[in-house]
Chain A
Amino acid sequence: MSGYLKLAVKNLLRHSTRSALTMLGIAASVGVLFSVLSFNRGFNEGLAQELERTGLHFMVVPSGCAHEVASLVLHGAVIPKFLDISVMQNLEETSGIAMATPILVAQVPNPGKERIDLIYGLDMQAISSIKPNWQIEGNIPKEENEILLGHEIAEHEGLKPGDVFMETSDGTQLIVAGIVGLTGSQDDAFVYLPIGTAQLLLDQPDAATAIGVKVKDPERMSEITDTLTAAVPGIQIVTMSQVMNSISNLAASARALSLAIVLIAVLISAVGVMNSILMSVFERSQEIGMMRAVGASRRDIFRIILEETTILSLAGGLFGIFIATLASKLIEAFVRAVMPFVPSGSLISFDPLLAIGSIFFIMAIGLCVGLYPACKASKINPVEAIKG
């Protein structure tokens, strides 16, 4: 260890409690900073992946709010508007469309259980396109009276594949064919029915809240959407990239706010460092006077103090990233609980570049706040300091 470094470390260890507390302040702020940045990355990557895995290119929905649509597509918000039957026919007649699958999302009162079920009607054959991430325990429904249950609702009702979920007003028993594995999203609360059954249950034959469309040639997509918009009144077309943008924008504002708060926390901890180092400089003024007398230049003193702040910042930064990495699962669970839409998969992945970046950032801040105490220390007049 170089002499300066040793001296700086020993000085910090002299007030170990004070140094530890200051370092913890930095660790906390850097940890949160690192988590927020990692989360942002993970979130965007997860979102892009999720949408990419969806085989759909765009959704046709009743004209309305694009954000509503976005949330509908990804987790089935309930929009009390239905697409006209003619839309489906129109789509089938449009050239260049590989697949069009209707989706019906609604709330249905369940008289037997005195509650409202969230139902999601879809073409069970298209399930792998619409929900590519699902792990299904049991089978994908093949009959019209077979359904899938979200993890949460299945657990709540204690149902297994093969059990009867409910009996409709005309006496049909809906049988659980499979249960969707835990997704950590709102998908867990839905009952998934074949689209025909859902339409019957709602008494809305041929109704759909949205139609998922896959085109044959993605390059021709804008041409197709233009033709459709012109031909069919009252519809809106939302492409997957628009969905992604809508969600990203929502997430971005939350992110900007959280980042601002984190930066303020970093600033506060940096001021803590400055205060702590400044105090120790004042306490050691006689000692600094002695060092000047035995041959230390102003620059030597400056360097010692600056090294102390750098060590504190570095230690705090490393510790913060260590803690953040350990706690990433906890943070992820928290984020899943509070965010409106969260892609499946791991949100926070350890990114070494981001970790190094965060450490450099806090070290740069540490250097900046160290300048003042270091300057103060280097200007201590040895004669006055030694006289006490």
Chain B
Amino acid sequence: MIELRRIEKTYRRGAEDVRALRGIDLTIDKKELIAITGPSGAGKTTLLHILGCLDQPTNGEIFIDGVEVTNLPEAELVKLRRDKIGFVFQQFYLIPGLSVFDNIALPLLFSKKPANPDRIAKLADMVGLKHRLDHVPSQLSGGEMQRTAIARGLVNAPEILLADEPTGNLDSENSEMIFEILRSLSNEGLTVAMITHNPDLAIRAKRAVHIKDGLVHSER
């Protein structure tokens, strides 16, 4: 599904060059639920952004479904993100004035697809928010916001969902709920890669990759 070969990423921070990734080889198969763990600053988020075609590696190659996507022009990357990739962030990033329905439907605006109400309702139902479709984010709990963000990540029917510490801002009960949603999505055939600091969740993922100093340190 996704194959990373000797991925390196160096970026400038002030006067110094930071080597965030130093040669990562990683293959993520279809339907996998993979947990990416590691200390702060290890390069997890950079890795996720490269997996999601949001960032380009300094060196190395990326293949999605066997097609090389390294150094594709921006317009092609936008298309890839729209069609194949869903993103979920730690801070949710919902748009305050928009209802749950409109927040979920937001990516459809950019992929120029109509927002089919039944489909949105189905997604909301899948994350347990069917009764909240008319609410705005300020009326939601943290867990509900993150579930809205997951539904938003799924609305374009992606092949892989990338989640950057999706439970980082949530209590254990809500974290559990989010993890269960991601796990069932993976069981239904979606590939899910999730960065987490929560060892309990990482253990329960089918596979866990530990990143340290920009390298795959260990794998289970």
Contact = CB atoms under 8 A, between A and B. Distances in A.
Contacts of A293: 52, 54, 81, 87, 89
Contacts of B107: 294-295
B49 interface: yes
A13 interface: yes
Contacts of A289: 93
A292 interface: yes
B89 A386 contact: yes
B93 A7 contact: no
A113 interface: no
B153 interface: yes
Interface residues of B, number: 31
Interface string B89-130: 101010111100010011111110001000000000000000
A291 B89 contact: no
B67 interface: no
Contacts of A13: 97
Given A14-B97, A295-B156, A297-B75, A383 B49 contact: yes
B110 A11 contact: no
B82 interface: yes
B152 interface: yes
Contacts of A296: 78, 109-110
B65 to A, nearest CB: 18
Given A290-B87, A293-B81, A294-B81, A6 B102 contact: yes
Nearest to A296: B110
Nearest to B80: A295
A286 interface: yes
B111 A387 contact: no
B45 interface: yes
B110 A14 contact: no
B173 interface: no
A3 interface: yes
Nearest to B153: A294
Contacts of B49: 383, 386
B81 A295 contact: yes
Given A11-B97, A286-B91, A291 B110 contact: yes
A297 B110 contact: yes
B54 A7 contact: no
B100 to A, nearest CB: 14
A298 B75 CA distance: 9
A16 to B, nearest CB: 10
A7 B109 contact: yes
Contacts of B106: 7, 291, 294
Interface string B45-65: 100010010110000000000
Interface string A356-388: 000000000000000000000000001100111
A210 to B, nearest CB: 69
B171 interface: no
A143 interface: no
Nearest to B106: A294
Contacts of A300: 109-110
Interface in A14-32: 14
Contact of A298 (B54, B74, B109): B74
Contacts of B74: 297-298
A383 B55 contact: yes
A10 interface: yes
Given A295-B82, A383-B49, A290 B89 contact: yes
B11 to A, nearest CB: 9
13 contacts: A3-B108, A6-B98, A10-B98, A11-B95, A289-B93, A291-B110, A293-B54, A293-B81, A294-B82, A294-B153, A295-B78, A295-B111, A382-B54
Given A298-B74, A386-B49, 20 more contacts: A3-B105, A6-B102, A10-B96, A13-B97, A290-B87, A290-B93, A293-B87, A293-B89, A294-B82, A294-B152, A295-B78, A295-B81, A295-B82, A295-B111, A297-B74, A297-B75, A297-B78, A383-B49, A386-B54, A388-B91
**Lowest 6 CB-CB distances: which A-B pairs, in order?**
A10-B97, A295-B82, A290-B93, A3-B109, A295-B110, A294-B107
